[in-house]
Structures are given as structure tokens and as C-alpha cells.
Structure 1
Amino acid sequence: MYVVSETEQRTTRTPAADVFALAAPSQGSVEIATWRVEIGAGSATPVHSIDREQVWMPLSGVFEVLVGDRAERVGAGQAAILPAGAVRRVVAVGGAAEALVAMGVGGTAAVPGGESGIPLPWAQ
């Protein structure tokens, strides 16, 4: 058994969100990567895709999750399952929002029409 705590060394801060790495291969997990994400009020992730299925589980606030041309709002007590390869954007609406996210280990991001194969440091 491993117990993993958030650390500043495993925290990624971007203009859109703060990502706090938890389970990952570098922390003893073989199959699943998890992290906690905080997105500020009115902030959004860039439009991107991930090559792994992700499950977003809001802890507080509300997220609008856009996948392709579909938009859904999710909050605490719900989960949004985002398919691998789907072009997506996640927006905090009505205030800051926080979620736990899980996916298979590894994983890379791509920006439509731009860079691909970008490693996700919190999933390594």
C-alpha cells in the first residue's frame, strides 16, 4: 500500500488551473493516475484532446464540460466520462470549481491543429 500526499513538487500551475498530482507510476500506481484540479471562476482549460479516457468527479462548484458540439454541466455527486481522443474543454461556471480526475497511466495531450504527444506530468 502507498499513501500519497499532494506536494508542491508534484503540482502544476497553469493560467487555467492548478493540478495536484496524486496516484501515478512515479508514486507507486501501476494502472491508474489520479489528480485534483482547481479551476478558477470563469477560467477554462484550452481546447485539447487526451489519448486516454478520463473520469472527472467534481468536489465543489460546477463545470461545464464541452466535448465536440455537446455541453453538459456537472457538479458534486456526478461524474463526467470523457472518451479517449475526444476534443474537449472544461470551464468553471458560477465560481471556482474543484474535481478529482482519474485515467489510465501515461497519456498525452494534443491541441487541434497544433502540438501533439504532450506528456501529462501528473499522470507519469
Structure 2
Amino acid sequence: MPVIRHAESRRTETPNAVMTTLASPTLGGAQHALWRVDMQPGATGPLHAFDAEQVWTVVDGGATVELDGEKFTVAPGDTVVLPAAVPRRISAAPEAGFAAIVAASPGASASTPNGTGKTVPAWTV
């Protein structure tokens, strides 16, 4: 299907964020996974790694991205390339929160930095 309507998007809530799947193999047959991340002000995700590269473009608010122990502050319009297998953590700005559009290979697995707890998040398939 060439058009995936907003009403067909898939919303997944976690303790740290809301992911809205915009395109994926199970949502319209796309060969890529594309989703929006929305984090409330001050929210912090867990330290984890993915087995595939991800590209995040900030659309609203701001965040601190911890990547392999180094911290970067990002704002609207910034794009962050998160390499595969590198530990990362995202912390939303305390006042503004954070929203980004993310692209990645579909079905990528997330795990703790030591490789345990491997799972394929619902928003990537």
C-alpha cells in the first residue's frame, strides 16, 4: 500500500516513551521501519543497544543522547546516527520533552549492553 493513513499507525507505550509506528513491514509492507518517539519532560530511557543502526531526527523539544559513554545535546532539526551494538540512552529535556522520527532496519533487536534480554520492539516490525 503506498499510503499508510494516520488512523492505521500503531501506538506502543512504554514506561519512558510512546512510539508510533508510521511504516513497517507489517504496516503497509514497507521494507523499512519508521516511527515517532515522544518522551515527556525529564523522562529517561534505559541503557540498551540495538543490533542495527538507527537514525533519529529531532522534531520537537530536546534531549541528551548518551552514546557509548559520551553525551550529546540535541535540538529540533538535529539528526543523530546511532551505530549498531553501541550502548545508548536518551533523556528528554526537563522542560520541553522530546520528539523524534526514527528510521531503522525492521525487526532490529534491542538488548542490555551485555547482550542479555534481547527483544524485538513492536514498533520495528
Pairing 1:53-92 to 2, within 5 Å after superposition: 53-92=53-92
Partner of 1:45: 45
Q: What is the identity, as a one-letter code, of the residue corresponding to 1:11?
A: R
Aligned pair in 2 of structure 1 residues 18, 6: CA closer, same or farther (>3 Å)? farther
Pairwise CA RMSD of aligned residues? 1.7
Q: Report the 3-state secondary structure (helix = DSSP H, G, I; strand = E; otherwise coil) of the residue aligned with 2:74.
A: strand
SS in 1 for 2:62: strand
TM-score, length-scaled by structure 1: 0.91
Q: Distance in 1 between matches of 2:106 and 2:76?
A: 24
Q: Is the 8 A contact 2:64 2:73 kept in 1?
A: yes
* SS of the residue 1:15 aligns to: coil
Structure 1 unmatched runs, 5+ = none
Identity across matched positions, percent: 34
How many equivalent residue pairs?
123
Query: Do the aligned residues in 2 keep the contact of 1:48 with 1:111 (CA within 8 Å)?
Result: yes
Taking the TM superposition and a 5 Å limit, the aligned residue runs for 1:109-124 are 109-113=110-114, 115-124=116-125
Q: Say which structure is richer in strand.
A: 1
